[in-house]
Amino acid sequence: MNFLQALILGIVQGLTEFLPISSSAHLVLVPYLLNWSFPAEQIFPFDVLVQWGTLIAVILYFWKDLVAILKAFFKGLIEKTPFKDPEARLGWYLILATIPAGIAGILIKDQVEAAFSSPRATALFLFLTAALLVLADQVGKRTRQMEDMTWLDALWIGVFQAVSIFPGVSRSGSTIAGGMTRQFDRSSSARFSFLMSIPVMLGAGIVSTKDLLQISNLGSFLPVLLVGFIAAAIVGYLSIHWLLQFIKRQKFWIFAVYCALLAVGVLLFGALHPTAASAQTTPAATAAVSLPSGTEIAQPVLQVQTSSSLYWLAPTASSCAVNLADFPIVFDTVDSASVPTAADTVQLRWGAPASLPQPAYQLGSETLVVAVNSANPLQSLNKATLQKIFSGQIISWSELQKTCPDCFSAALPDSLSAQNISFGVYPSEQDVETLFRQALLAGRPDPAGAGLLVPNVEMMRDTLSTNAAAIGPLPSRAVAEGIKAISITDADPAALTAPVLAIAPGTLSASAQIWLKCIEKGLNP
């Protein structure tokens, strides 16, 4: 990440944290749409620092309100009349309103993290923000003010805040909408929304800062972080002031239209550019780089050939490379049954090839799964039925349900029942295809019929997520949003698990071995 990118993203955070258009969505979508590639280890500290910037902005803007609330709150505790003063009650209501988001963050943490890596999911959640803003303007009578708030109002608005932990659901838009559905006027709803953002952002910031301080090479990245922090603080302060003035005169429809148009634009962009980069999944690029042919550098370079079935390992491998600043590593995706012969080459692959030049480094293990689209009600298969599918003996989804009705959790949708099974296979030299045939297709002919030849694991994942009629093998760590793994009822779990290997023709240097140890630790925390 460079200074210009940090400045732009800091401005984006400052604008969108308080305008009802979702800051989390924009921090996911702006790099995605601009095709910016950031090292995985830079994304977390940057997000933490820009969030601190907007926290400083809201504290400064509402400083007088906060002082009054805190004085009344502690005075009420000391005098044993905690709810007597309206400002003290407001302090209690702010605490109450933060509880639902905290509970939601604990219960659905994995789903939220998965959504942050999916621009498509973020776009869909933007539609929800648009709907909430329209609902607020249509339903709210705007007859109540802050002084009329009760504990039930605060809890209700807190539930709306819990929904906003997903990227694409605006925190300010959701909570303002929650207030307006309780008949509060726009100004009161916005004021309570901004005030209740303080304990949430403060708590998240404190927890995240502890992890931030443990990140290696933080000092060298700190100047870039400060640019984003300052930009977010200044622009955040201005955006609060502007929005409070704006909502006195205008409705929220303009923000709803913006969210809907942005969501449509992202979905169209994704359809036209399926391989566009996402900042959440981009490998580090500082020590692990692709070099043009003929480039000369002073230090020895380790050539790393990575099987496409291990694309999910790239952020870990690249992050480990960053810690070895004087040890350049060049990554290249190679799907081949052959093993490296050059002394400065390491091959990362899933499962052992037919022959090894010498003992390999085992970094961990990965499990093979068979996956389908989440909309497909298929939930299990036995090996014999799976083999019939991949040899072309069972052709359609309706035929499969007749053959094995218990394999489905529900009746097939009409749109799927009429379709043939689109089973995906890989080129025969790929390690994932070798594992699949050995573990689940043993004794059956090679796949035939209406099979879909898919060049690599990442495209198999994309095919399954967009095609409800598709089925295919994946590494378990490649299962993502829109996909589910089905159970192979009579498969031996050990047969579906294979080692992740680093294969080299000779003894590796000390730096290379440190790098592999780092990857091993990442795979086996």
pLDDT in tens, 225-257: 788 889 989 998 999 899 888 887 778 888 889
- Higher-confidence residue of 194 and 358: namely 194
Of the CA atoms within 13 Å of residue 318, those in its CB half-sphere come to: 25
Residue 181, SS3?
helix
Residue boundaries of the structural domains of the chain: 7-15+23-33+46-272, 302-363+499-523, 366-498
Is the pLDDT reported for residue 45 higher than 60? yes
Alpha helices (H) in 19-39, listed in sequence order: 23-34
Res. 485 pLDDT band, cuts 50 70 90: very high
Q: What gap in Å lies between CA 424 and CA 451, rounded to an integer? A: 6
Q: What gap in Å lies between CA 258 and CA 130, rounded to an integer? A: 8
Contact between 227 and 3 under an 8 Å Cβ cutoff? The reply is yes
- pTM beyond cutoff 0.75: no
Contact between 157 and 175 under an 8 Å Cβ cutoff? The reply is yes
385-401 pLDDT tens trace: 988 888 888 888 999 99
Helix or strand run (H / E) with residue 367: strand 361-373
Is the pLDDT reported for residue 285 higher than 50? no
Using left for φ > 0, alpha for ψ between -120 and 50, and beta otherwise, residue 504 falls in: beta
Is the pLDDT reported for residue 371 higher than 90? yes
Helix or strand run (H / E) with residue 383: helix 383-390
- Residue 342 pLDDT: 67
CATH architecture of 302-363+499-523: 3-Layer(aba) Sandwich (3.40)
CB atoms within 10 A of CB 340: 19
What HEC string does 327-360 produce? CCEEEEECCCCCCCCCCCEEEEEECCCCCCCCCC
- Higher-confidence residue of 490 and 525: namely 490
Q: What gap in Å lies between CA 487 and CA 176, rounded to an integer? A: 44
> 244 Cβ partners below 8 Å, 6+ apart?
187, 190, 191
> 322 Cβ partners below 8 Å, 6+ apart?
39, 41, 216, 217, 284, 286, 287, 288
Q: What gap in Å lies between CA 3 and CA 513, rounded to an integer? A: 34
Of the CA atoms within 13 Å of residue 303, those in its CB half-sphere come to: 14
Q: What gap in Å lies between CA 99 and CA 157, rounded to an integer? A: 11
Number of helices (H), then strands (E), belonging to the chain: the values are: 19, 10
Task: Tell me whether the CATH fold assigned to 302-363+499-523 matches the one assigned to 366-498.
Answer: yes
Is the pLDDT reported for residue 447 higher than 70? no
Determine the distance from the C-alpha atom of residue 61 to the mean position of all C-alpha atoms in its chain, rounded to a whole number. Answer: 32
Residue 81 backbone phi and psi in degrees, to 5: -130, 65
Distances (CA, A) of 517 to 214, 361, 405: 19, 10, 47
CATH architecture of 366-498: 3-Layer(aba) Sandwich (3.40)
- Residue 306 pLDDT: 83
Is the pLDDT reported for residue 269 higher than 80? no
